[in-house]
């Protein structure tokens, strides 16, 4: 369950911005989670309220945007959508594909008061 | 600093409704803090010429036995130190210390992985020597440790033939993150239903660049391929 450690990082990051960005409460947190990252959005949703309790983001809404996976084929050089780290190139079927998008695990933005 | 109580237009906010709050763009990696500690560790390792491996696997793949045999083979040639990660007990560190090699045990408690901050402290406790090998044996877990950079030169994933040959597809993140896969316990191949070629094919689909060595730590089969790899990597770094 490293989703809990990740949520603790979310809490630390938003607390670290509270002073410099002059806010006292966070009402919405938007995360970007790539489809090929090893994080389960459902587990983040499950833990979010608990981890944010007693923080600036207690009761905040959690929005997760999922970045799709994109692979670059080593054979034909074209990009295609991949659902897993082992999907072949959708263009030519070559099994060797490098990930160019989908590994993201980021806080994108906050709505604050 | 911004003045208290009023919104000014230089703020990055999306609209002017006072109760709706304002938008603050963050664009920060969730693992940013761990990655910063990992960079510090990596700089320290480089400065002191310490070659660091992060050994990962499921529980029972044979990481500790692999390390004990590696130490026996190499300890007269290079200084070695070990950081052991487990949720509980000093058992693994005790096994390493029995070879005369310094070892620090990190008990992660409920956590399922080691992180770069804990490694930084363990390295100080250990007093790792310059020009040495530092092996980090991660918590037995093929999922979480894949995300946490510790500052190592390479992640090495150990997969034993008593597990399924489809583990690289079932736990792709770890095989994607590793530079080397050791297929361990090959002496047991006659007794188990493990298709080694299929396993290699799966691992390459997840990570076309992954290097692969098959070996048996207990029987010594092809063990020198692993220690040769290790010495060659250290030489390339020095």
Q: In what order do the strands lie in the sheet with A26-34?
A: A61-67, A26-34, A105-112, B22-29
Mutate to test the interface with A, among B15, B24, B117 (most CBs of A within 10 A): B24
B28 vs A contacts (CB less than 8 Å): 13, 106-107
Region A32-37: mean pLDDT is 95
Q: Which of B103, B109, B116 is nearest to B145 (CA)?
A: B116
**Predicted confidence (pLDDT) at residue B18 exceeds the cutoff of 70:** no
pLDDT of residue B7: 43
Q: Which residues contact A62 (CB under 8 A, 6 or more apart)?
A: A28, A29, A31, A44, A45, A48
Residues B32-41: pLDDT tens digits?
999 999 999 9
Nearest-Cα residue of chain B relative to residue A4: B111
> Taking all residues of chain B, what is their mean pLDDT, rounded to a whole number?
91
Q: Which residues of B touch A (CB under 8 A)?
A: 1-2, 4, 19-34, 111-113, 115, 143-144, 146-148, 168-169, 172-173, 176, 202, 204-208
Secondary structure class of B188 (helix, strand, coil): helix
Phi then psi for residue A41, to 5 deg, are: -50, -35
Residues B124-170: pLDDT tens digits?
999 889 999 999 999 999 998 999 999 999 999 999 999 999 999 99
Per the structure block, which two tokens stand in for B115?
């992180």
Cβ distance A78 to A89 under 8 Å?
Answer: yes
Q: Which of B155, B135, B134 is nearest to B144 (CA)?
A: B155
pLDDT of residue B3: 39
Confidence (pTM): 0.90
Cβ distance B185 to B58 under 8 Å?
Answer: no
**Predicted confidence (pLDDT) at residue A3 exceeds the cutoff of 90:** no
Region A8-21: mean pLDDT is 94
Per the structure block, which two tokens stand in for B31?
């693992």
**Terminal-residue alpha carbon distance, chain B:** 48
Give me the count of residues in chain A: 113
Per the structure block, which two tokens stand in for B196?
């080694």
The Cα of B34 is separated from the nearest Cα of chain A by a number of Å equal to 9
């Amino acid at each position: 369950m490293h989703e809990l450690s990740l949520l603790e990082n979310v809490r630390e990051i938003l607390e670290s911005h509270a002073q410099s960005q002059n806010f006292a409460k966070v009402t919405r947190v938007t995360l970007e989670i790539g489809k090929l990252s090893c994080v389960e959005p459902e587990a983040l949703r499950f833990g979010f309220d608990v981890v944010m309790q007693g923080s600036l983001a207690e009761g905040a809404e959690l929005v997760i945007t999922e970045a799709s996976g994109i692979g670059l084929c080593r054979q034909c050089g074209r990009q295609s959508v991949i659902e897993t780290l082992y999907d072949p190139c959708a263009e030519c079927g070559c099994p060797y594909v490098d990930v160019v998008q989908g590994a993201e695990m980021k806080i994108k933005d906050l709505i604050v008061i | 600093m911004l003045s208290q109580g009023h919104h000014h237009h230089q703020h990055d906010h999306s609209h002017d409704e006072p109760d709706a709050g304002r938008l603050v763009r963050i664009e920060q990696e969730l693992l940013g803090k761990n990655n910063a500690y990992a960079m510090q560790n990596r700089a320290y390792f480089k400065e002191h010429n310490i070659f660091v491996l992060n050994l990962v696997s499921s529980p029972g793949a044979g990481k500790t036995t692999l390390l004990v045999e590696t130490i026996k083979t190499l300890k007269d040639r290079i200084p070695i130190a070990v950081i052991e990660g487990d949720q509980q007990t000093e058992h693994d560190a005790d096994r390493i210390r029995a070879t005369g090699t310094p070892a620090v045990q990190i008990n992660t408690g409920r956590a399922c992985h080691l992180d770069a901050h804990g490694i930084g402290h363990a390295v100080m406790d250990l007093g790792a020597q310059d020009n040495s090998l530092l092996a980090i044996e991660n918590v037995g877990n093929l999922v979480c440790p894949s995300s946490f950079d510790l500052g190592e030169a390479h992640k090495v994933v150990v997969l034993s033939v008593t597990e399924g040959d489809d583990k690289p597809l079932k736990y792709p993140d770890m095989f994607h993150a590793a530079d080397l896969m050791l297929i361990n316990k090959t002496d047991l191949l006659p007794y188990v239903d493990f298709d080694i070629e299929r396993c290699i094919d799966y691992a390459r689909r997840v990570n076309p660049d992954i290097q692969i060595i098959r070996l048996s730590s207990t029987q010594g089969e092809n063990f020198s391929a692993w220690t040769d790899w290790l010495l060659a990597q250290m030489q390339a770094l020095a």
